């Protein structure tokens, strides 16, 4: 029996279209911050990190045994001084290709995804990652949907997942407006309970504002 999915696996799974297996149309930076936050949160839940006071501290550098997490734990443990969450989000988001590639391979090895390579006009490669049975994605979406629509206290794992999805602008791609309508207060209450998710949202917002500012200053006036 497979162990439960990690946060980074669930976020990657939800970032793919249900039918085609194509990546949803998100800003690459947005998913990068979401995956980076998931790495930190997964390591914290594994008892390796603490993120109190917005500073990341390694409390236990013993490998978790999970190949998705241990390379990043090793990198964190090798740092000689403490850094805020936002610093590590920036560092790890730059590693999005490596994190995403490893996560996809992990999901393929677990029999959850499969890889399909197609060609357009026999030239351009097109890679997709459809689910094998789609049970896992349905389970995650059903679980989170009930949480968002309900009023009970959320489990820590699910609260963190909602916070990360909301912070990297993926929540609105996972659920329809009808499913989220009227639940913004509930979503914000859940999202605000997790410091890593809050930092993901803040970091992403600052990044987008910086990009918009750069575009406005370089735009050529008519």
Structure tokens at 74: 């090793």
> Kindly report the CA angle at 144 between 140 and 148, in degrees rounded to 5?
170
Structure tokens at 30: 């947005």
Does any domain span residue 2? no
**pLDDT score of 207:** 78
Does any domain span residue 137? yes
- Residue in the block written with tokens 């659920």: 175
d(CA 77, CA 211): 32
**Running along the chain, 222 residues long, what does each successive block of 10 average in pLDDT?**
87 89 84 93 95 86 96 96 91 94 93 78 60 85 91 91 91 87 90 88 81 64 52
Does any domain span residue 63? yes
What's the domain range around 76? 7-208
Q: Are 111 and 132 in contact (CB under 8 A)?
A: yes
CATH number of the domain encompassing residue 91: 1.10.3630.10
d(CA 62, CA 67): 13
Does any domain span residue 213? no
What total of structural domains would you count in the chain? 1
Q: Are 165 and 41 in contact (CB under 8 A)?
A: no
């Amino acid at each position: 029996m497979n162990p439960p999915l990690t946060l980074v696996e669930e976020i990657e799974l939800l970032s793919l279209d249900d039918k085609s297996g194509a990546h949803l149309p998100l800003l690459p930076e947005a998913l990068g911050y979401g995956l980076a936050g998931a790495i930190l949160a997964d390591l914290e839940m594994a008892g390796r990190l603490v993120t109190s006071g917005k500073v990341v501290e390694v409390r236990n550098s013993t490998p978790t045994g999970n190949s998705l997490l241990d390379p990043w734990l090793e990198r964190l443990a090798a740092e000689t001084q403490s850094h805020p969450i936002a610093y590590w989000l920036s560092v790890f988001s730059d590693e999005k290709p490596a994190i995403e590639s490893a996560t996809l391979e992990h999901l393929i090895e677990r029999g959850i995804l499969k890889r399909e390579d197609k060609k357009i006009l026999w030239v351009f490669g097109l890679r997709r990652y459809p689910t094998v049975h789609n049970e896992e994605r349905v389970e995650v979406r059903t679980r989170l949907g009930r949480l968002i629509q309900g009023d009970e206290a959320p489990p820590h794992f699910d609260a963190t997942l909602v916070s990360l999805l909301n912070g990297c602008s993926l929540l609105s791609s996972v659920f329809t407006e009808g499913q989220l309508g009227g639940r913004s207060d509930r979503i914000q209450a859940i999202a605000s309970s997790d410091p890593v998710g809050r930092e993901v949202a803040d970091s992403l917002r600052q990044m987008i504002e910086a990009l918009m500012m750069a575009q406005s200053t370089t735009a050529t006036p008519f």
